[in-house]
Amino acid sequence: MVGLPAAAARGTVAGFSELDRIGTPLTLKRGETVFYEGDPADAYYKVVSGAIRSCKLLADGRRQIGQFFLAGDLFGLGVGATCLFSAEAVTDAVLVRYARQQVDRLVGEAPAVGRCLLLVAARHLTAAHQQMLLLGRKTAEERIASFLLAMAEHSGGDLFLLPMTRADIADYLGLTIETVSRTFTQLRHDGLIALRGTSEVAIADRDALEDIAEGA
Amino acid sequence: MVGLPAAAARGTVAGFSELDRIGTPLTLKRGETVFYEGDPADAYYKVVSGAIRSCKLLADGRRQIGQFFLAGDLFGLGVGATCLFSAEAVTDAVLVRYARQQVDRLVGEAPAVGRCLLLVAARHLTAAHQQMLLLGRKTAEERIASFLLAMAEHSGGDLFLLPMTRADIADYLGLTIETVSRTFTQLRHDGLIALRGTSEVAIADRDALEDIAEGA
DNA sequence: CGTTATTTTGATATACTTCAATAGGGGTGG
DNA sequence: CCACCCCTATTGAAGTATATCAAAATAACG
């Protein structure tokens, strides 16, 4: 699993080109919100560049990030009238926006588009199941190992940049900032990863990291 | 939100009837497996009666239940060649099995079927996001409160039977059997629920339970 | 009814959180 | 170019929710 272009490995599939004709671009600065949980759900989005996070909040402000959407990813597929999570820019980002009404019409005309969307939804569901296993049953070390391997896979190599802060990682993995930081430090001391600065990561011992990630 | 038939509230939507023509029934005893994680993914299933659990395992046996599928629910929508989780009967159950090849053909012929499947997938994705929030950020008490309210909503009333064991609930909520049991006891002592035997639950103070579930 | 599986309850242990302080890093203005 | 500041990250010490280990009680089942 190396060297696949990110778009091919993740979001883009056959039948997608029809969609591109009805999309309009959208530029976001770091921290800006694409839509809020509960907003009318009237569009789908594709990430062109940058990173987006999906967030859900509890009444007292506790936050859970459901997914990070990176270049090539499609998101916003909802059911019913309202968005089920809010979406925010992790970094400066460019999106393409597809009005829902037009997408739905397209699905009626071209079954390939429907299959494409179903495929994307199924992919997100796969990721969600993986994440539920992580959140429900993995230790902090196992969560960080899983996360780093997933980021490496997306980047297509063993050296990559983390676009998000420790706070984002913590809210994605169901941990605190401090535990994330301590676990990074520990993996570095154990020689499984190398860090340059705060965001550049190199996988140093992939096998050991994989053993940890799957609970061996 | 009361009195809706379970099927209408959850799995069944317009465009479903086409599917029924190609389904074949399937009977399972408690504990039997529908399919294993990694099996070739060649069918979708609908629950007619009983309850099914989706499971993922870590190398050392730790288990996470992703979803419970109850009467009316459709499951097995996968991407690619293999099942992403195993599915087991929580109770004796009757399913309908839809061969994937035929479903895919149907999607090509009748766009409504595709929209239906997309809707089901989106519903599952909604549930998964809710569950990620629960697993990542909620306390044991909040998890149990959320779970009981969801079960009540499915049953259409405030009095219902739990078809699954404490072990299943624990593996669904990312807790241990003991913590599940202690939390049930505590909610009972606080007068928020009533229990008859081990599986009959009555919601006694819905407002208080909802406040807890959403982290107030 | 005896036997086994499941659930509840109790005592202790621990992984992670919380609270608190220090250190680094990147940008801006002097 | 350096100094300052703010934001983010790291490190440390103490606390806590939940896990683990162990036993009793209840329920399920032949």
- B56 to A132: CB separation less than 8 angstroms, yes or no: yes
Q: Does B118 touch chain A (CB under 8 A)?
A: yes
- B132 to A129: CB separation less than 8 angstroms, yes or no: no
Which of A39, A95, A98 minimizes the C-alpha distance to A69? A95
Confidence of residue B137 (pLDDT cuts 50, 70, 90): very high
- Distance from C-alpha of B71 to C-alpha of B6, rounded to nearest angstrom: 7
- B56 to A215: CB separation less than 8 angstroms, yes or no: no
pLDDT at residue B110 is higher than 90 = no
Q: Assign residue B174 a region (left: φ > 0; alpha: ψ between -120 and 50; beta: otherwise).
A: left
pLDDT at residue B3 is higher than 90 = no
Confidence of residue B2 (pLDDT cuts 50, 70, 90): very low
Give me A121's structure tokens. Answer: 């939804």
pTM: 0.92
- Distance from C-alpha of A53 to C-alpha of A33, rounded to nearest angstrom: 10
> What type of residue sits at position B55?
C
CA of A33 and C1' of C29: distance in angstroms?
A: 31
Residue A90 CA: distances (Å) to CA of A69, A162, A181, B137: 9, 11, 19, 20
- Give the sheet arrangement for strand B193-196, strand by strand: B159-161, B200-203, B193-196
The reported pLDDT for the residue numbered B4 is: 37
B197 contact to strand D (CB, 7 A limit): yes
A138 contact to strand D (CB, 7 A limit): no
B140 contact to strand D (CB, 7 A limit): yes
The reported pLDDT for the residue numbered A9 is: 40
pLDDT at residue B10 is higher than 80 = no
Nucleotides of D under 7 A from a protein CB: 8-13, 17-22, 27-28
B174 contact to strand D (CB, 7 A limit): yes
CA of A23 and C1' of D27: distance in angstroms?
A: 61
Q: Does B59 touch chain A (CB under 8 A)?
A: yes
The reported pLDDT for the residue numbered A17 is: 66
Give the one of A58, A135, A137 whose C-beta lies nearest to B214's C-beta.
Answer: A58
Give the one of A79, A130, A135 whose C-beta lies nearest to B126's C-beta.
Answer: A79
User: What value does the mean pLDDT take over residues B118-144?
Assistant: 94
Give me A62's structure tokens. Answer: 């506790």
- B215 to A62: CB separation less than 8 angstroms, yes or no: yes
- Distance from C-alpha of A103 to C-alpha of A76, rounded to nearest angstrom: 12
Q: What are the chain A neighbours of B116 within 8 Å (beta carbons)?
A: none
- Distance from C-alpha of A181 to C-alpha of A169, rounded to nearest angstrom: 10
The reported pLDDT for the residue numbered B170 is: 98
Kindly identify which residue of chain A lies nearest to residue B170, measuring between CA atoms: A136
User: What value does the mean pLDDT take over residues B133-140?
Assistant: 98
Confidence of residue B16 (pLDDT cuts 50, 70, 90): low
The reported pLDDT for the residue numbered A61 is: 94
Q: What are the chain B neighbours of A123 within 8 Å (beta carbons)?
A: 79
- Distance from C-alpha of B49 to C-alpha of B47, rounded to nearest angstrom: 6
- B137 to A62: CB separation less than 8 angstroms, yes or no: yes
Cβ atoms of residues B10 and B72 within 8 Å: yes
- B58 to A117: CB separation less than 8 angstroms, yes or no: no
The angle at the Cα of B124, spanning B35 to A110, to the nearest 5 degrees, equals 95
The DSSP bridge partners found for residue A47 are A95
> Could you report the per-residue pLDDT of B51-81, keeping only the tens digit for each?
999 999 999 999 999 999 999 999 987 767 8
CA of A72 and C1' of D24: distance in angstroms?
A: 58
Give the one of A64, A104, A125 whose C-beta lies nearest to B124's C-beta.
Answer: A125
The reported pLDDT for the residue numbered B17 is: 67
Give me A68's structure tokens. Answer: 């990070």
- Distance from C-alpha of B81 to C-alpha of B116, rounded to nearest angstrom: 22
- A128 to B128: CB separation less than 8 angstroms, yes or no: yes
pLDDT at residue B5 is higher than 80 = no
Closest Cα in chain B, distance from residue A197 (Å): 28
Contacts 24+ apart (CB under 8 A), A177-181: A179/A140, A180/A140, A180/A144
- Distance from C-alpha of B95 to C-alpha of B72, rounded to nearest angstrom: 10
- For residue B144, give the H/E element and its range: helix B140-155
- Centre a 10 Å sphere on the Cβ of residue A185 and count the other Cβ atoms it contains: 11
The reported pLDDT for the residue numbered B1 is: 36
Which of B42, B21, B44, B15 minimizes the C-alpha distance to B114? B15
Sequence-separated (6 or more) residues with CB below 8 Å from residue B207:
none
CA of A53 and C1' of D4: distance in angstroms?
A: 33
Confidence of residue B20 (pLDDT cuts 50, 70, 90): confident
- A136 to B216: CB separation less than 8 angstroms, yes or no: no
**What is the average pLDDT score of chain A?**
89
Three-class SS of residue A6? helix
- Distance from C-alpha of A9 to C-alpha of A127, rounded to nearest angstrom: 13
Residues of chain A with pLDDT under 70: 1-17, 79
Residue B142 CA: distances (Å) to CA of A198, B17, B74, B145: 34, 38, 27, 5
Confidence of residue B14 (pLDDT cuts 50, 70, 90): very low
User: What value does the mean pLDDT take over residues B113-137?
Assistant: 90
Q: Does B145 touch chain A (CB under 8 A)?
A: no
Three-class SS of residue B150? helix
Q: Does B207 touch chain A (CB under 8 A)?
A: no
Three-class SS of residue B187? helix
B165 contact to strand D (CB, 7 A limit): no
User: What value does the mean pLDDT take over residues B113-139?
Assistant: 91
